[in-house]
Chains A and B, each alone.
Chain A
């Protein structure tokens, strides 16, 4: 399957600052990527679908102006959490869609907002 990396693996920031998380598909051309959020001991919550060269599709209840997604190439999608607040603290995971609609996941980024 596809190998997916995320950077950084963890980040601590002050309230009000913006944080950018990168998701890279290392060996697969990723037309479609996804961003998820996971709270402790809970399942994954899909935030948005990221399509290369076009605007992301956000799930209901996810603020597109707060969670900016850019998918400018077939190997890179970025998620920027703007004006982060403590309630944005979470585990953010990206994935790459494969040829059988399966998804290959990155290792996740733990965001802590102080």
Chain B
């Protein structure tokens, strides 16, 4: 089946690290993605990881992938108040002969000053 799950809420203090977790079900997903959504806006692609990788780092962002457990995480180092937003993980699946994204429910990150 197609299901992506995330915790709903995370609160951290400014300067600390944030870790947002995600589990997915489709083991054939080629790519997994992290998106950020600010209030009233569309989704911004933050980063992605290919399924044969374990880790990807991009400036303050680190993505870890445990393919055996189908677990994906996003670590934000030195979290800033501007990082407050909803973060969605997504897996890429094939359905009706085309690639589609299945999104998690989103994790609301609140960064306290």
Report which A residues bind B (CB closer than 8 A).
1, 4, 6, 32, 34, 42-44, 46, 49, 51, 57, 93, 95, 97, 100-108, 110
Chain B neighbourhood of A57, CB < 8 A: 96, 98
> Measured between C-beta atoms, what is the minimum distance from B94 to chain A in Å?
9
Chain A neighbourhood of B106, CB < 8 A: 42-43
Known: A43-B106, A46-B100. A104 touches B45 (CB 8 A): yes
Partner of A43, one of B30, B40, B96, B104: B104
Chain A neighbourhood of B82, CB < 8 A: none
- Say yes or no for B33: interface residue by CB 8 A criterion: yes
A44 close to B43 (CB less than 8 A): yes
Chain B interface residue bracket vs A:
20 to 34
- Say yes or no for B73: interface residue by CB 8 A criterion: no
- Report whether over half of chain A's contact residues are helix, strand or loop; otherwise say mixed: strand
Chain A neighbourhood of B31, CB < 8 A: 100-102
